[in-house]
Each structure stands twice: as structure tokens, then as C-alpha cells.
């Protein structure tokens, strides 16, 4: 395999996920990328994106209760910090998280082919960025 074909495989893709106007603080949005559902959250102006499947038993997290930066799984009550994707505690389960870029008011979820899931479900990601949504102030 040549280095140029390696670069093609490893380059991140940017998936359009709507606009900042569609995701006010406290709101969430479900998007679908390559058969995977991803939930975007606006937490105090910061856009966070996670895999919609709870790593415990695959339950949908889209309707979980949001308390600050913590999301509670509606099926079993596990709590995940949307900033890290992890449950509280050092050995907790982890969600797949995705960087989100805001480009001229558009939300773009960055799906990187180099992302892999560790045995405990934590996402290993070479780049994680979260963008603050500009307000009208």
C-alpha cells in the first residue's frame, strides 16, 4: 500500500449535521452516519456528539436525561460525561465521542477512520475538538 492510499484511508470525513440555529442550548439532535446514529447536544453553547448506543446494553441515549454535562441512560441509569464520554470513576464505561466543527454556522461531525474502540468501550481519538456556538451577543 502506498503512502497516498494510507492518507486517503485515514483522512477524516466531515458529515453535515445541520446548522447552529437548529441546536439551541439544552437541545439535542439525532443524525445518521453510515448506518450509525449519533446524538449532538448543545451544552451551554458547546456542541458535543456521541454514539447513540449505550456501551452497557446498546440502549438508545438520545432521550436520556441531561443534567449539566452528564447524560443519564434511560434504560439503566448509567451517567456519562459528554465532555469525555466516560462514566464517573477511573474504570467506567465510555461512549464513542466525535469532534464537531462549526463552519459558517453549519455543524460538521468529524468521522475519523483511525478511531478505534478500546475493550472497555472508551474511544481513542487522535483529535477531539468541540466548538462553542456563537451567540447573538
pLDDT digits (tens, 9 = 90+) for 76-107: 899 999 998 999 876 778 899 999 999 999 99
On whether the pTM is more than 0.75, the answer is: no
Averaged pLDDT score across all residues of the chain: 78
Q: Does residue 111 lie within any of the structural domains?
A: yes
Q: 70-76 long-range CB contacts below 8 Å, 24 or more apart?
A: 71/41
Asked if residue 130 belongs to a domain, the reply is no
- What local confidence, expressed as pLDDT, does residue 90 receive? 64
Indicate the pLDDT class of residue 111, thresholds 50, 70 and 90.
Answer: confident
- Residue 137 resides in a domain: no
| 87 located within any domain | yes
Enclosing domain of residue 23: 12-124
Confidence of residue 34 (pLDDT cuts 50, 70, 90): confident
Residue 130's Cβ-side half-sphere holds a number of Cα atoms within 13 Å equal to 17
Amino acid at each position: 500500500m502506498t503512502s497516498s492510499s494510507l492518507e486517503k484511508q485515514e483522512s477524516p470525513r466531515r458529515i453535515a449535521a445541520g446548522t447552529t440555529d437548529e441546536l439551541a442550548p439544552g437541545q439535542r439532535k439525532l443524525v445518521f452516519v453510515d448506518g450509525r446514529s449519533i446524538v449532538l447536544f448543545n451544552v451551554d453553547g458547546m456542541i458535543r456528539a456521541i454514539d447513540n448506543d449505550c456501551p452497557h446494553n446498546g440502549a438508545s441515549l438520545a432521550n436520556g436525561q441531561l443534567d449539566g454535562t452528564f447524560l443519564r441512560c434511560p434504560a439503566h441509569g448509567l451517567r456519562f460525561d459528554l465532555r469525555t464520554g466516560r462514566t464517573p470513576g477511573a474504570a467506567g464505561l465510555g461512549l464513542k465521542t466525535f469532534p464537531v466543527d462549526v463552519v459558517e454556522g453549519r455543524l460538521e461531525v468529524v468521522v475519523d477512520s483511525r478511531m478505534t474502540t478500546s475493550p472497555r468501550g472508551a474511544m481513542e481519538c487522535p483529535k477531539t475538538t468541540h466548538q462553542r456556538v456563537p451567540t447573538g451577543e
